[in-house]
Amino acid sequence: QKEVEQNSGPLSVPEGAIASLNCTYSDRVSQSFFWYRQYSGKSPELIMSIYSNGDKEDGRFTAQLNKASQYVSLLIRDSQPSDSATYLCAVNLAGGYQKVTFGTGTKLQVIP
C-alpha cells in the first residue's frame, strides 16, 4: 500500500460544478496535511493546510479531514477552466521526520 494515495484521474467536471479530490494515507497518527496545485510545466503552489478533523474553507476551496478514516479531500466550488491542473496531496507521516510525503496527484480538467 502506498503511503499517500490519490486517483491519478483525469477527473473531468463541467465549468461551475464542484470538483471533489480525494486522498488517503497510511499512517493513523499523521498530524498535518496539505493540498498543492501544479500547473503543467510549473512548480507546485500551496492551496491549503489542514490539521484538525472537519472542514476548512478558503474562498472556493474547502479541505476536509477525517483522521479516523485516514482521508483528506479538497472540494473546489464553482470550478473554472483555470482550475485545470494536477492537485497534489501531501501528508506529514509519523516517522517521516522532517519531510512530507506527496501523493502522485490527481489531474483535474474543467470543461468550459
Partner 1 sequence: GAVVSQHPSRVICKSGTSVKIECRSLDFQATTMFWYRQFPKQSLMLMATSNEGSKATYEQGVEKDKFLINHASLTLSTLTVTSAHPEDSSFYICSARTGGDSNQPQHFGDGTRLSIL
Binding residues (CB under 8 A) for partner 1: these are: 31-32, 34, 36, 41-46, 49, 51, 88, 90, 92, 96-100, 102-105
CB of 66 to partner 1, least distance (A): 18
Say whether 101 sits in a helix, a strand or coil: strand
CB of 110 to partner 1, least distance (A): 20
Mark 29-62 as b/e (b = at least 16 C-beta within 10 Å): ebeebbbbbbeeeeebeebbebeeeeeeeeeebb
Say whether 81 sits in a helix, a strand or coil: helix
The residue (of 15 and 57) whose beta carbon lies closer to partner 1 is 57
The residue (of 11 and 17) whose beta carbon lies closer to partner 1 is 11
CB of 46 to partner 1, least distance (A): 5
Given the DSSP bridges, would you call strands 106-111 and 45-50 parallel, antiparallel or unpaired? unpaired
CB of 99 to partner 1, least distance (A): 6
Cβ atoms of 39 and 109 within 8 Å: the answer is no
The residue (of 16 and 59) whose beta carbon lies closer to partner 1 is 59
